[in-house]
């Protein structure tokens, strides 16, 4: 027990009951954190409330968090907002940052970006790293406010200097992507490593990628594997998948047999789409496992159900191609369309062919042209060739209708 925790509990209770806000707050903190007193969230709430009503700003902030999270009291975001405001108006930077988030997300109130920015800036001026990070994120996304990458970088660096792991990682990625005006791998590694050493799994994952994919001067596969293992061991699906690829490709030295499949399965079981899809391909092709079409199709369906367009396309293709009564071309058509509507070019092309030939659906020349045109616009060579043929084959009314459909319903190209 530290000196700070050696307290006279009876005296503390007495002072709190006599209305001393500082004693009430201290008592609540000890009920919350089990310092000298067993944890009791309801009692913590009671004493936070008493201190808060006496104007104690830290107690007001803690009380707001109790209402927000439902600790010791039923959750009530509107009441939480009232207490966040009370603490924020007394210059509690944490409350100001949280209030900015409430107004940004519409938690307990209507969304109001002007108020969100006002409180974020107030908290940032008091050195609150979370507010600085959120300001950077807003400027980087440029959806709720006018985008400004320089402003984003400035706010992230302020937070990063205070050891905010997410800000450190975002700053590192900005250096990798050249968002600062040039690519600087030395700075990227510096900031990402600081976040990674703090135990932030996403930073460990990204540091592994930086070491694996950087120019030769900074490339280090041993370090890439080290940090990827850290992130994967922490349960991060993308890292588990990346580590499986490291082992499969021989990037990880002294590869242990079965390690690639071990990490791939862990990522797939977390429903990380790329891993789930690759598990399907492994069972289909017998890569590291015994080939099994039924298991392959179950993994492929799992990835398709979660919206992964490449899996939807492959799942559809097998429905069309397999000579098996369990799989039908009409079912395949539905999956082609799911992938096609996400911009998957091969799915758009396949769907066009199905409409043109009447595979799994009645022939629809205008529908064939529509999907062929979208695939062609996306740069799929076969579609560009077939589109020219369709334009010569269709009568003018059908061609006009099809072109109008393309103009009215464009679909963005997805990158798998």
The Cβ of residue 173 has, within 10 Å, a number of other Cβ atoms equal to: 18
Q: What pLDDT score was predicted for residue 19? A: 86
Q: Is residue 343 part of a domain?
A: yes
- Indicate whether 362 and 282 sit together in one domain: no
- For residue 275, tell me if it sits in a domain: yes
| Together in a domain, 337 and 407 | yes
Residue 109, phi then psi, degrees to nearest 5? -165, 175
Q: What is the pLDDT of residue 329?
A: 85
* In-domain check, residue 341: yes
CB within 8 A of 159, min separation 6: which ones?
A: 129, 130, 132, 133, 136, 166, 167, 168
Q: Would 214 be classed as within a structural domain? A: yes
Q: Coil, helix or strand for 324? A: coil
- Residue found under tokens 């060739």: 385
Q: Is residue 374 part of a domain?
A: yes
Same domain, 249 and 215: no
What is the domain count for the chain?
3
User: Are 81 and 99 a contacting pair, CB within 8 Å?
Assistant: yes
Domain end among 182, 208, 234: 234
- Predicted confidence at residue 34, as pLDDT, reads 61
372 with 334, same domain: the answer is yes
Does 210 share its domain with 297? no
Q: Do 207 and 273 share a domain, yes or no? A: no
Would you state the pLDDT for residue 253? Answer: 65
Residues of the chain with pLDDT under 50: 1-4, 412-416
Residue 183 is assigned to a structural domain of this protein: yes
- End position of a domain, from candidates 306, 340, 366: 306
315 found inside a domain: no
CA 145 from centroid of its chain's CA atoms:
21
415 in the same domain as 331? yes
Give me the pLDDT at residue 7, please: 62
Whole-prediction pTM = 0.83
Tokens of 229: 């293992």
Q: Both 331 and 388 in a single domain?
A: yes
Q: Which domain holds residue 343?
A: 325-416
> What's 211's domain CATH number?
1.25.40
Cα 346 from Cα 341, distance rounded (Å): 11
283 with 254, same domain: the answer is yes
Q: How far apart are CA 330 and CA 319, in angstroms?
A: 8
- Comparing C-alpha atoms, which of 220, 228, 266 is closest to residue 246? 228
Burial of 203 from C-beta contacts in 10 A (0-12 / 13-18 / 19+): buried
The DSSP letter of residue 332 is H
Domain boundary among 234, 265, 297: 234
Residues 191 and 270 in one domain: no
């Amino acid at each position: 027990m530290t000196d700070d925790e050696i307290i006279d509990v009876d005296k503390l209770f007495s002072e709190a009951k006599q209305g001393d806000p500082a004693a009430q707050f201290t008592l609540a903190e000890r009920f919350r954190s089990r310092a000298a007193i067993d944890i009791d969230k309801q009692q913590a709430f009671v004493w936070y409330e008493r201190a808060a009503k006496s104007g104690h700003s830290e107690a007001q902030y803690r009380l707001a968090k109790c209402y927000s999270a439902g600790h010791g009291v039923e959750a009530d975001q509107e009441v939480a907002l009232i207490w966040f405001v009370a603490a924020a108006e007394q210059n509690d930077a944490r409350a100001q940052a949280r209030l900015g988030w409430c107004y940004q997300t519409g938690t307990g109130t209507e969304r109001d970006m002007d108020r969100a920015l006002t409180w974020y800036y107030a908290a940032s001026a008091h050195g609150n790293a979370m507010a600085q990070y959120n300001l950077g994120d807003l400027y980087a996304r440029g959806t709720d406010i006018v985008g400004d990458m320089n402003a984003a970088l400035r706010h992230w660096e302020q937070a990063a200097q205070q050891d905010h792991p997410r800000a450190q990682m975002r700053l590192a990625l900005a250096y990798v992507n050249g968002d600062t005006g040039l690519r600087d791998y030395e700075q990227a590694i510096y900031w990402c490593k600081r976040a990674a050493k703090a135990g932030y799994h996403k930073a460990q994952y990204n540091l592994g990628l930086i070491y694996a994919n950087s120019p030769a001067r900074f490339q280090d596969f041993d370090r890439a594997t080290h940090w990827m293992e850290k992130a994967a061991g922490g349960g991060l699906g993308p890292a588990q998948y990346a580590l499986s690829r490291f082992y499969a490709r021989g990037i990880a030295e002294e590869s242990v047999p079965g390690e690639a499949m071990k990490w791939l399965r862990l990522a797939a079981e977390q429903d990380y789409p790329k891993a789930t899809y690759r598990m399907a391909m492994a069972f289909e092709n017998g890569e590291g496992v015994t080939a099994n079409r039924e298991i392959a199709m179950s993994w492929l369906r799992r990835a398709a159900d979660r919206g992964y367009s490449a899996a939807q396309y492959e799942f559809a293709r097998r429905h069309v191609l397999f000579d098996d009564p369990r799989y039908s071309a009409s079912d395949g058509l539905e999956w082609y369309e799911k992938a096609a509507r996400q911009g998957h070019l091969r799915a758009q092309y396949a769907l066009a062919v199905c409409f043109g030939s009447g595979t799994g659906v009645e022939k629809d020349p205008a529908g064939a042209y529509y999907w062929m045109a979208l695939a062609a616009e996306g740069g799929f060579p076969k579609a560009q060739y077939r589109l020219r043929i369709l334009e010569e084959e269709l009568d003018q009314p059908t061609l006009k209708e099809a072109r109008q459909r393309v103009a009215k319903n464009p679909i963005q190209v997805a990158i798998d």
